[in-house]
Amino acid sequence: MTYNSDKELLLKNKVNLGKNALTVLQKRYLKKDEDGNVIETPEDLFYRVAENIAQADKIYENDADLDPLIKDFYLAMTSLDFLPNSPTLMNAGRHLQQLSACFVLPIDDSMDSIFETLKNTALIHKSGGGTGFSFSKLRPNKDEVKTTSGVSSGPISFMQVFNAATEAIKQGGTRRGANMGMLRVDHPDILEFITCKDKNDSLNNFNISVAITKEFMDALEKDSDYNLYNPRNGEVRGALTAKSVFNKIIDQAWKNGEPGVVFIDRINDENPTPSIGSIESTNPCGEQPLLPYESCNLGSINLGHFTKNGTVDWEKLETTINTAVHFLDNVIDMNNYPMEKIGKITRSNRKIGLGVMGWADLLLHLSIPYGSKESLSLAEKLMNFIQAKSYKSSEKLAIKRGAFSNFEKSVYAKGPLMRNATTTTIAPTGTIGIISSASGGIEPLFALVYKRTQCLDNEEMYEVNPYFEKIAKENGFYSSKLIAKIAEKGSIHGFEEIPEKIRKIFVTSHDITPEDHVKMQAVFQKFTDNAVSKTVNFPNSATKEDVKKVFVLSYKMGCKGVTVYRDGSRDVQVLNLANKKEESLPIREVKPRTRPTKTTGFTFLMHTGCGKMYVTINEDDRGPCEVFTRLGKSGACTSSQAEAIGRLISLALRSGVNQNEIINKLKGIRCPSPAFAKGGAILSCADGIAKAIEAYNKEKMAPELFEQKITDTKQYEDKHQKKQYTSNPKDNLTGACPQCPECGEMLTFAEGCVVCNGCGYSKCF
């Protein structure tokens, strides 16, 4: 069979993609022409990637027949049994050719190092990667700076510089920049670091984690003090009580999910190349510890596809592992690294991270409850199998191609040859999980049913887990009334109309105890070279003591880190369950005056972080009587929230509420994406509406802020269409909305980030 005819046959094998998967691919992955039109099919994408990655075999075997390998790679991806990380899908076979998702860059205690790293960060973000940093080598706040006879500003101030730079960089229009910021628990500025994200509008491009040392954990167990060290000279710079610092971490994690904790000494105890350097940080989601200037490419096997006759299809799984390890090793050679220094150390250690997604799906197919003893036993057997087979695949590649360059300096030196210093990592699998229609990583299902509001017409819809829907219909208990009740509660526990055996199997995140969350993470970590991305979800009612138990247990059970999230603890509620209606308190009835058939007014243009917002204020013979808003083209939840504010203001105005009271309540409200116009900052849509009313009320326009009072919106757009004052609204996430600002779908929370299951939008806080 010729190469071209083989391609034609493969491309006829259509990928079975869901609606959300197609949306994600079209928005973020498929090639587009200069006008933004999609010019690539999903099949074209997977063939492009397979063909490109297979070329690496030519490096080791000049006359290699690539057709069978291309076919293997293509079928592994189009069957959705295995997918590599997003940069590989986006960039392989295209001009950029940057294929890695994870990078760690060093920051040493000098201005040269800090801003050299900042420049390198920009290059990585531009190419679609995420970056991790340890700020632990920077001297503390108010420490001496001999060169200037001044004092230092400390690591937090430089984190803010990196955060601002990330905000200004768009990752090629496909992925937003994301950072991990770490500080050792023995750094003198640790208390300031723990609270640096106390407000949800600060350091929004960073996840933060405290690097916990063995010395600290020993002091915590003994309820004693531990030393702080000045990184400038290594001298002791005071001491703190371990318990008080630990409680501070717990307080903040309980409050808004950050910081997470990383057990940095444990990570270095398992560093495969300790003679090459120490691990200081991880990638943004915490699952990939890396040496300075090291990168790693990840990929995940969709476990929901590996069942046969009511059990795991081990034979198919082994075949897919072999294909995936070969694929990921080839990526290292085909990668166009943002910096040669990164390419050099990556090729020297050749770390790959094969992980899993669809773990919750697999358990459902096997009728095993998530968190049960049976599920933990299967997790241990499964991950042991994946790691052992990935080692065997790496060994086979090493025999053909040679071991990684630093093999003789590694912990493997006395054993069989290894092609890769690490082979396994468990990542969150946000967008590739959407493409595969798979549950994320090793997470349980968040909910079986959740509510979605079509913001343009305010119609409520319910998204139902397809497997639960199938079982419910087969067993005769499916009804729209039941679905609404499940959405309200968020779980099927207690629903007597559902058979008990089904209630036991279809558990959700909040049905599982925090301890069982940790046990699941620990079992997978036992057979994972790198680390495991896993969020321990708490109900809103969880106490700080609950968080403390999880942190302690995760350390005792051998985890390399842990992240917690208490439902509703952020300004952005990330997945919307239908809330129970609260009983109304009695209030004095106020009847608003009737709106006249004709009003007159003005329209103001406000430049907000969500785009251009037009605020129209109309008046009747008694003064202002209504406010309308129109928010650019952002659609979805953002527009509906602005419209809702306008309607409520209109109701208040016609009910006699003083304008100044309205202004005072709205002005100053801040969202994570303020905008800066000529006259100053517009902190949020609500703040912009308040400032428009304020300008109207004073009857004296502020031209440096509003530019012009107009009565015709179209007139203003025509006149100023070339002026740009704000960033793209699609890059912003409003603090009050639990839905995606692009498409209105629900957002899910994992590892300090939110991801949209509808279009793939993501943002780290």
Place of tokens 């500025």: 189
CATH 3.20.70.20 domain extents, the chain: 102-282
Count each helix (H run) and each strand (E run) in the chain, helices first: 27, 30
Taking the CA atoms of 737, 738, 742 and 748 in sequence, report the sign of the dihedral they define: positive
Give the span between the Cα atoms of 573 and 614, in whole angstroms.
Answer: 27
Q: Which residues pair with 229 in a beta bridge?
A: 236
Catalytic residue check, 707: no
Please compute the mean of the pLDDT values over residues 316-323 and round it to a whole number: 98
Topology of domain 102-282 in CATH is: Anaerobic Ribonucleotide-triphosphate Reductase Large Chain (3.20.70)
Q: Which of 642, 696, 684, 687 lies closest to 664 in space, CA to CA? A: 687
Catalytic residue among 120, 205, 207, 283: 283
Q: Which stretch of 170-174, 255-259, 721-725 has the lowest confidence by average pLDDT?
A: 721-725
pLDDT at 758: 67
Q: Cα-flanking dihedrals φ and ψ of residue 131, to 5°?
A: -125, 145
**Helix pair angle (3-11, 42-54), 10° resolution:** 140
Kindly report, residue by residue over 616-665, the tens digit of the pLDDT: 999 887 788 899 898 865 555 677 888 889 889 988 888 888 888 888 88
Burial of 709 (0-12, 13-18, 19+ CB in 10 A): middle
Taking the CA atoms of 8, 9, 12 and 15 in sequence, report the sign of the dihedral they define: negative
Kindly report, residue by residue over 69-126, the tens digit of the pLDDT: 999 999 999 999 999 999 999 999 999 999 999 899 999 999 999 999 999 999 998 8
Give the span between the Cα atoms of 765 and 249, in whole angstroms.
Answer: 17
Kindly report, residue by residue over 479-514, the tens digit of the pLDDT: 999 999 998 887 898 899 999 999 999 999 889 999
Which value, in Å, is the radius of gyration of the alpha carbons in the chain? Answer: 27
b or e along 435-447 (b: 16 or more beta carbons within 10 Å of the residue's beta carbon)?
bbbbbbbbbbbbb
Catalytic residue among 179, 196, 256, 285: 285
Place of tokens 């799906």: 361
What's at 105, amino acid-wise?
A: L
Kindly report, residue by residue over 407-448, the tens digit of the pLDDT: 999 999 999 999 999 999 999 998 999 999 999 999 999 889
Catalytic residue check, 537: no
Q: Which residues pair with 38 in a beta bridge?
A: 32
The tokens describing 168, both together, are 């200004």
pLDDT at 451: 73
pLDDT at 710: 34
Give the span between the Cα atoms of 220 and 602, in whole angstroms.
Answer: 63
Residue 65: is its pLDDT beyond 70? yes
| pLDDT interval class at 536 (50, 70, 90) | very high
Taking the CA atoms of 191, 197, 203 and 209 in sequence, report the sign of the dihedral they define: positive
Please compute the mean of the pLDDT values over residues 128-144 and round it to a whole number: 93
CB atoms within 10 A of CB 552: 17
- Residues with Cβ < 8 Å from 127, sequence gap 6 or more? 87, 91, 96, 98, 171, 172, 338
DSSP-assigned states of every residue in 685-730:
HHHHHHHHHHHHHHTS--HHHH---BS-HHHHHHHHTT---S--GG
pLDDT at 4: 55
Catalytic residue check, 455: no
CB atoms within 10 A of CB 717: 13
Q: Which stretch of 192-201, 343-352, 359-368 has the lowest confidence by average pLDDT?
A: 192-201
Q: Which of 203, 200, 188 lies closest to 245 in space, CA to CA? A: 188
pLDDT at 517: 96
Residue 5: is its pLDDT beyond 60? no
pLDDT at 174: 52
CB atoms within 10 A of CB 315: 10
Q: Are 449 and 466 in contact (CB under 8 A)?
A: no
Q: Which residues pair with 691 in a beta bridge?
A: none
What's at 64, amino acid-wise?
A: A
pLDDT at 211: 98
Give the span between the Cα atoms of 290 and 293, in whole angstroms.
Answer: 8
Q: Which of 164, 92, 184, 90 lies closest to 121 in space, CA to CA? A: 164
The helix/strand/coil state of 169 is: coil
The tokens describing 478, both together, are 């499916």
Residue 581: is its pLDDT beyond 60? no
Q: Are 578 and 451 in contact (CB under 8 A)?
A: yes
Higher pLDDT, residue 402 or 12: 402
The tokens describing 125, both together, are 């973000």
Cα angle vertex 137, ends 134, 142, to 5°?
115
| pLDDT interval class at 751 (50, 70, 90) | low
CB atoms within 10 A of CB 310: 8
Higher pLDDT, residue 487 or 247: 247
pLDDT at 490: 78
Stated as kind and residue range, the H or E segment containing 330 is helix 314-334
| pLDDT interval class at 670 (50, 70, 90) | confident
Q: Which of 444, 446, 448 lies closest to 575 in space, CA to CA? A: 446
pTM: predicted TM-score of the whole model, two decimal places = 0.78
Catalytic residue among 51, 280, 287, 742: 287
Q: Which of 516, 672, 552, 566 lies closest to 253 in space, CA to CA? A: 566
Give the span between the Cα atoms of 272 and 623, in whole angstroms.
Answer: 73
Dihedral-angle region of residue 575 (phi above 0 means left; psi in -120 to 50 means alpha; beta otherwise): beta
Dihedral angle of Cα 635, 640, 646, 648, to the nearest 10 degrees: 180
